[in-house]
A and B are shown apart, each in its own frame.
Chain A
Amino acid sequence: MNKFLDTSIIIGYAYDEKKFIIFVNNKKGEFVISYYSLEKEILSIKKRLKLIINEIKKQTPDLKKLLENKEIYKQDLFRAEKLLAIKEILLKRGLDSNKELDKIQEVFEIRIDFFIQKLIDKKAVPIKEINFELKSSLFTYIQNHSDANVLASGIQYHQENEIVLITSDKHDWTKENLGWALPEHSQLRKKYPHLPEIEYI
């Protein structure tokens, strides 16, 4: 059966996590991904990573300045502080981490590009076509806009093309949450009667 992938699968593959590599190497059926993952989530992570790395690489990084950028999250500041501390430790050991940071960013992006170009078979549900009511109902139980959008895309796609949802998120991507968001006999369930199976990595 075809697999509808959560963004975390591509990101996990990009940062070279073993379980995602094994999953990809044993690919069966087609890989489908939502436009939301591609155009919103992946892009956002790439931008945040770039901004953090670029600031850390400076001779005198001004981490507070990172927050001036709308792409950056508050918690990214703490991450940047930790990264700067590691950079300083490595520097004391005589290691220049700037080149290594460049390499991490380059390899991370190439692996994402490779996945999208070579491993994805279909891109589905343009962002504008995500049903707002369905997304909102999913958000009530998941409390994460991105997950709600990707799940809504998956459910919408599943009505015409049978798929299995693939994720590493055992907490939010659950059968129970789908059931609560689309209760039996509700208008939403009538519109989307088929709920996809979920498989975890």
Chain B
Amino acid sequence: MADVNEREKKTSEQIKQRIIEELDKQQKPLSIQDISKEIGSNWLTIKDYIKELQQERKVKEIVLGDKKVFRLVREDTYLDIPITRKEKEIFYFLFDNAKKLFKELGRENPTKTDINKSIIKVIDQFNISVPIVWYLYGKMALLKYEIEKDYATSYIPENYKEILVFFRETINQIAKKKNSKEVREDQYLYYGKTLYQIKEEIYDFILKKDLDKHKEKLKELFSNFLVCLSSQEDFNEINELVSKFVMIIRKMAYLENINSHKKRVIESFDAIWKMIAMYMFYDSLTKYFRFKNKEEIKSMYFEDTLNNKISIAQEMISDLEIEYLNNLFNIKEPPKLDNNELTSFMKNMISEMAKEGVKEDEQIS
């Protein structure tokens, strides 16, 4: 704890800087009490400075149960998730070398995808201990890569020569790809991520194909997408939303002129993918030991963002459903069931189910 006299001499900027340093050092959100104890300033002073730091958007408040804690707004990592100084140095080393190696091949400005996919291969090959996560376009570094930023670092890993040989090979392969799409598809294939592969196929299909001429394929793609979704318990809300969305698409395939709904379909799918990808991010991050407390990590970094993505997806699905229902007014007769053994069994089954009504424990008293 700091000396009281020393504390009195601190300017407000110095105290704010100390708060930021402490939050960075601790790698986790802290309460006002924790901070005041660590930097030796009284509770009220810290409270005032925290308020200022919040207004300056340098610190964010989180409510954990009945406790208010504060975390640093980092901006250099996704969702402000903390990484250690060592991890940052490793990422800098990888980003810097990836940039240089692409430059050697005449690629002055490699894309974020090129850089990320190349360093991920290196990280996995050498089991380098840095956090990497699954998100919108596949596996990526938790530290954001900024094209303009200088990543020069004095850090050099012991096996850097070996790393650079593999890095060069990897980048040579990536540089041969036609575009970022090919690079990321290559990654999905490498890690066997079928969901990501189908996602890519769906975007291509909706954008390029005449949906009215390929209704069966449309249904098949979305059904496969649903089948590939994880069925973990904490994924239920998302699974149900996707299931509802896919059912609307399947039903829309019976109506005329789906092409006129293309924009709405793609917007809804986009919202759904963003929601799923955010969950993938959370799920892959919590596989790391220091992020393993799922509930805490969710409250500290994901709650707002994930809920926001879910709300947007709900809204988009609801709009799509309205379009589908409105379209029903344009048809004279709904489609009919086929006449076969299976249908006949199902008719009886549904008829029996209808007679049973709603379960007693769901009754409203």
Using a CB–CB cutoff of 8 Å, the interface residues on chain A facing chain B are 7-8, 11-12, 14-17, 40-41, 44-45, 48-50, 70-71, 73, 75-76, 79, 82-83, 86, 90, 97, 100-104, 106-111, 113-114, 117-118, 127-128, 130, 132, 144-147, 149, 169
Give the Cβ gap from B230 to chain A, nearest Cβ, in Å.
15
Q: Looking at chain B's contact residues, is the secondary structure mostly helix, strand, loop, or mixed?
A: helix
Whether A16 touches B364, Cβ cut-off 8 Å, given contacts A106-B250, A107-B337, A117-B328, is no
With both beta carbons as reference points, the residue of chain A lying nearest to B326 in the complex is identified as A117
| Docked complex Cα distance between A12 and B351 (Å) | 7
Contact B364 A86 (CB under 8 A): no
Most buried by A among B337, B355, B357: B357
Contact A144 B357 (CB under 8 A): yes
Contact A73 B337 (CB under 8 A): no
Whether A100 touches B251, Cβ cut-off 8 Å, given contacts A11-B351, A17-B347, A113-B325, is no
| Docked complex Cα distance between A109 and B337 (Å) | 11
Most buried by A among B247, B324, B350: B350
Please list 16 pairs of residues, one from A and one from B, whose beta carbons are closer than 8 Å in the complex, sorted by A's number: A8-B351, A15-B337, A15-B347, A41-B358, A49-B350, A75-B356, A79-B352, A90-B341, A100-B338, A102-B223, A103-B337, A104-B342, A106-B335, A107-B336, A107-B337, A110-B334
Say yes or no: is B354 at the interface (Cβ < 8 Å to chain A). Answer: yes
Whether A114 touches B334, Cβ cut-off 8 Å, given contacts A8-B355, A73-B359, A104-B343, is yes
Give the Cβ gap from A80 to chain B, nearest Cβ, in Å.
9
Whether A145 touches B363, Cβ cut-off 8 Å, given contacts A102-B250, A114-B331, is yes
With both beta carbons as reference points, the residue of chain A lying nearest to B251 in the complex is identified as A110
Point out the residues of chain A lying under 8 angstroms from B243, CB to CB. Answer: 50
Give the Cβ gap from B284 to chain A, nearest Cβ, in Å.
26
Contact A86 B334 (CB under 8 A): no
Contact B219 A102 (CB under 8 A): yes
Give the Cβ gap from A11 to chain B, nearest Cβ, in Å.
4
Contact B328 A106 (CB under 8 A): no
| Docked complex Cα distance between A144 and B353 (Å) | 13
Contact A44 B359 (CB under 8 A): yes
Give the Cβ gap from B316 to chain A, nearest Cβ, in Å.
19
Give the Cβ gap from A141 to chain B, nearest Cβ, in Å.
15
Whether A145 touches B357, Cβ cut-off 8 Å, given contacts A106-B250, A110-B251, is yes
Say yes or no: is B365 at the interface (Cβ < 8 Å to chain A). Answer: yes
With both beta carbons as reference points, the residue of chain B lying nearest to A48 in the complex is identified as B353
With both beta carbons as reference points, the residue of chain B lying nearest to A171 in the complex is identified as B355
Contact B354 A8 (CB under 8 A): yes
Say yes or no: is B360 at the interface (Cβ < 8 Å to chain A). Answer: yes
Contact B356 A73 (CB under 8 A): yes
Contact B328 A101 (CB under 8 A): no
